Amino acid sequence: MGKMLVVSAHGADWCTRAGGMILKYVELGWEVTVFALTYGEHGESGNYWKDHPGCSLEEVKSCREQEARAAAGKMGVKEIRFFDYGDYPLCMDESRVRRLTADILAIRPDVILTHWRIDKINPDHEICARAVFQAVTAAGMRGALPDTEPHFIPDIFLFETTIPHPEFNQFEIDTFVDISDVMDRKMEAVKLFKAQPQLVGYYEKCATDRGFQANDWSRGRRPIRYAEGLKRYTPYLGDQLPISRLAEEGPKGTGTKEKGTKEKSLKEKSPKERRQEDV
């Protein structure tokens, strides 16, 4: 069984940007853990503040936590952990990066998903990504924690920047994941974030746009309606090139596979084999 860690700056980022991938990997038997560095109480809860004049900061945090836990439960996430570091601005000092390093060493994920490395509109996302890079590097060094084996180095993929401004933030996509088969379930989870009702429309449009791009790359091998886009941060390591694979009739549950291949499914592969492949 593989392990996936999703590190999110705010309480909803992980679901909107990587919800489809989370659902797909939960179905494959992976353990998925989510770290939310903040609740998004200051800058990502405008609807709640507007509808609840006179409310306290703790009330907003409680709302955002309940929303995120409900979404995580709906999606089969093993654990969602809140760090309550405060947003707008998010600050990650040495002690917080060391804590993140220790948490990565405790989980030892095969794959980490986090934010794109540039976000001029929402620097919290950029700060989160930088902290993950620092923590992963530290976790790969003997001595990061006394008497603890290093963990070097999980596959890291960076998900969407602030929508709808990927060009402004120089987002570079080199990986598309077809989420057409889980899109309805992803959006059901996104709708649970009632403090940010705009997320539904934003990420339906985003998945449609990425699906349009992915479908063009598919060139008729399979119609792709919805997709999530990522940038691979760590290099691919394997015995063969990371060749694109598309079953002709759908991503799951169809019993189909590419013509002329006898490749094992992800369910049949060991975590070591999975780690050598793209998400």
Q: Does residue 137 contact residue 112 with C-beta atoms inside 8 Å?
A: no
Tens digits of pLDDT across the chain (279 residues): 899 999 999 999 999 999 999 999 999 999 999 999 999 999 999 999 999 999 999 999 999 999 999 999 999 999 999 999 999 999 999 999 999 999 999 999 999 999 999 999 999 999 999 999 999 999 999 999 999 999 989 999 999 999 999 999 999 999 999 999 999 999 999 999 999 999 999 999 999 999 999 999 998 889 999 999 999 999 999 999 988 888 665 555 433 344 444 444 444 555 555 444 544
Write down the pLDDT at residue 1. 80
Helix (H, G, I), strand (E, B) or coil at 259: coil
Residue ranges of alpha helices (H) inside the chain are 13-27, 46-51, 57-75, 94-107, 123-139, 183-190, 198-218, 271-275
> Can you say whether the dihedral through the CA atoms of 4, 7, 12, 13 is positive or negative?
negative
State how far the Cα of 201 lies from the Cα of 47, in Å rounded to an integer.
Answer: 15
Helix (H, G, I), strand (E, B) or coil at 127: helix
Gyration radius of the chain's alpha carbons: 19
Q: What predicted TM-score, i.e. pTM, was given to this entire model?
A: 0.88
State how far the Cα of 80 lies from the Cα of 7, in Å rounded to an integer.
Answer: 10
Q: Copy the structure tokens of residue 225.
A: 């309606």
Task: Calculate the CA 174 to chain-centre distance.
Answer: 15
Count of residues in the chain: 279
Q: What angle do CA 255, 256, 261 make, to 5 degrees?
A: 125
Q: What angle do CA 55, 190, 167 make, to 5 degrees?
A: 100
